[in-house]
Each structure stands twice: as structure tokens, then as C-alpha cells.
């Protein structure tokens, strides 16, 4: 027993594809809505390019929105902490100008430490098996969290005048 023929077939006429209904005397099927080219406004390529550029300029990127610094009412930067490295966290800290300078110094120190650790890992790779045990030790973590909390507390302290 053979399967029945399909009801619709697609053919090409005049560089256009048309759907033919074989159960309706090979009549062409008319679409229920107009083709996109018929309902879209006709524009030239330069106008379309300008419209795309304008749309890109208006819309901020999601990554830029996430990386944008949070600012309080006075225009000072806010720092959001997490509880895994701040014993008083999570909290928002207003960073003073002196705190900004400390953060810049911290970035430089962190970069140098990471570079030294990368060199050490390359030269003394067996230490890579020992470092996680030291880093995840409860006493080490408590000491690191308390040092981080003390550093974060100093970020929003007014300068000492005396």
C-alpha cells in the first residue's frame, strides 16, 4: 500500500516560490498576510544604515550598564560588598576620595601578586596542589575576611586632620 500524495507542493515561478494546493485543482495558495517586502516601507541603504547607527547610539550596552559605577546623591562612588569576603556584608560603602586612592593602590598590588603567583605556579607547579588547602583553611579564611573588612571600613573614613 502506498502513502497518499502530499497536499501542498512548492514550485518556482518567475524567481518566486509559490505553494500549490494539489487537492484544489492545482490552485496557488494565497497568503493570509502580505509579504514582508510589501508591508515594509521602502528605504534606501544609506537611510537604513543611519537608522541602525542611531539606534545603537541611543541604547546603552548591558555590559556598560553593569560596569557603570554606582553613585550616591553627593556624586561619590558606592561599593557593594558581599558576605563571603566582608564580615559586615553585604553592605554599601560610600568611597571617599582617599578611599579611591587606596583602591587604586590595591589594584596595583593585586596585579603584582597575581603576576608573582603565576610565575610561582609555572616554576613550582607542585605547590598548586597545596595552595587550595591553605586558602580554604577555616583559620586562613577568617583572617582574610577580617583583614578585608578592616580595609573596607577604612575606605569611607574621613581623613585624619591633626
pLDDT tens digits for range 128-150: 888 888 888 889 889 989 999 99
Residue 97 within a domain: yes
Residue 14 within a domain: no
- State the total domains in the chain: 1
Note the pLDDT of residue 97.
84
Residue 162 has pLDDT above 60, yes or no: no
List the one residue out of 162, 161, 152, 157 whose CA is nearest residue 98.
Answer: 157
Give pLDDT tens digits for 92-126.
888 888 888 888 999 999 999 999 988 988 898 88
Residue 94 within a domain: yes
**What 3-state class would DSSP assign to 55?**
helix
Give pLDDT tens digits for 55-97.
666 656 666 656 666 777 777 788 888 888 888 878 888 888 8
CB 136 within 8 A of CB 143: no
Which residues form the domain of 104? 70-155
Residue 161 has pLDDT above 60, yes or no: no
Give pLDDT tens digits for 43-55.
677 777 777 777 6
**Number of alpha helices (DSSP H) and beta strands (DSSP E) in the chain:** 6, 6
Give pLDDT tens digits for 11-23.
888 888 888 888 7
Residue 3 within a domain: no
Residue 4 within a domain: no
Residue 39 within a domain: no
Q: Which residue has the higher pLDDT, 87 or 157?
A: 87
Residue 141 within a domain: yes
Residue 20 within a domain: no
Note the pLDDT of residue 109.
93
Q: Which residues of 118-132 are buried (b: 16+ CB within 10 A; e: fewer)?
A: eeeeeeeeeeeeeee
Amino acid at each position: 500500500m502506498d502513502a497518499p500524495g502530499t497536499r501542498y507542493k512548492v514550485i518556482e515561478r518567475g524567481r518566486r516560490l509559490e505553494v500549490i494546493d494539489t487537492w484544489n485543482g492545482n490552485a496557488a495558495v494565497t497568503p493570509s498576510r502580505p509579504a514582508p517586502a510589501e508591508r515594509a516601507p521602502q528605504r534606501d541603504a544609506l537611510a537604513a544604515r543611519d537608522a541602525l547607527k542611531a539606534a545603537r547610539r541611543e541604547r546603552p550596552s548591558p555590559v556598560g550598564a553593569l560596569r557603570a559605577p554606582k553613585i550616591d546623591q553627593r556624586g561619590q562612588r558606592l561599593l557593594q560588598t558581599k558576605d563571603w569576603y566582608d564580615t559586615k556584608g553585604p553592605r554599601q560603602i560610600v568611597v571617599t576620595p582617599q578611599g579611591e586612592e587606596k583602591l587604586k593602590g590595591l589594584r596595583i598590588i593585586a596585579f603584582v601578586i597575581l603576576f608573582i603567583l603565576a610565575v610561582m605556579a609555572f616554576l613550582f607547579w607542585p605547590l598548586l596542589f597545596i595552595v587550595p588547602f591553605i586558602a580554604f583553611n577555616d583559620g586562613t579564611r577568617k583572617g582574610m575576611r577580617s583583614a578585608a573588612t578592616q580595609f573596607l571600613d577604612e575606605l569611607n573614613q574621613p581623613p585624619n586632620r591633626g
